[in-house]
Amino acid sequence: MDALLTSTFSVAIAEIGDKTQLLALLLAIRFSNKFAIISAILCATLINHAMAAWIGQWAIDWLDPQWSQYVVAGCFFVIALWVLIPDKMDDDDNRFYKLGAFGATFILFFIAEIGDKTQIATVVLAAKYHSLTWVIIGTTLGMLIANVPVVLAGHFSADKLPMKLIHRGCAVIFALLGVATLMW
């Protein structure tokens, strides 16, 4: 249960103001089929985070157990620093829009998640918890918790949220995960 709750909470917080959340906003404005956008976010995230979690499991099994705790804790500390750097949206890649709401969202979300903070967090969470299924479910839920409200309220602006406070809070959460990893 720790893997599910920690994965859900940390990714939901890390996703606020992230480029994929900004992408969700752009797609919600562009397409009227909100169900297709949300379904595509779910599918893209499940596949992307399943691969990331598998990499985390593989890496931790490959690492010497003596060092794995320090590597995982170090990764949490790096993510804590990384979330303090605000994301900005890359150029709007509208060539995928002709694929419709589901196709465009799936491709753009999948690509945007590659190497993103939440994908790296998924790798590290899977390495820490050794629970592939619960980490994948948790990180996917976290993505949906952060992105579905943005899709449903397409006019909503992340500028209205206290982004510095949210990023600092997220950094503290990841730093605490690093400390907890070192202690247990």
Cβ contacts of 175 within 8 Å, gap of 6 or more: 76, 77, 80
Write down the pTM of the prediction: 0.77
- Report pLDDT for 41: 96
B/e letters for 131-169, b = 16+ CB within 10 Å, e = fewer, are beebbbbbbbbbbbbbbbebbeebeeeeeeeeeeebbee
A 10 A CB-CB count for 107 gives 16
Tokens, residue 115 = 């190497």
Please give the pLDDT value at position 8.
Answer: 95
* Residue 35, pLDDT score: 96
As a whole number of angstroms, the distance between CA 162 and CA 140 comes to 24
Q: What per-residue confidence (pLDDT) applies to 92?
A: 55
- Cα 142 from Cα 10, distance rounded (Å): 7
pLDDT at position 170: 66
- The tens place of each residue's pLDDT in the chain, 184 residues long, gives 889 999 999 899 888 777 788 888 888 888 989 999 999 999 999 999 999 999 888 888 887 777 777 777 787 788 778 767 765 655 555 778 888 999 999 999 898 888 788 888 899 899 888 889 999 999 999 999 999 998 998 655 555 656 677 668 767 877 887 787 677 7
CA dihedral over 110, 116, 121, 124, signed as positive or negative: positive
CB atoms within 10 A of CB 28: 23
**DSSP helix/strand/coil, 1:** coil
| 3-class DSSP state of 93 | coil
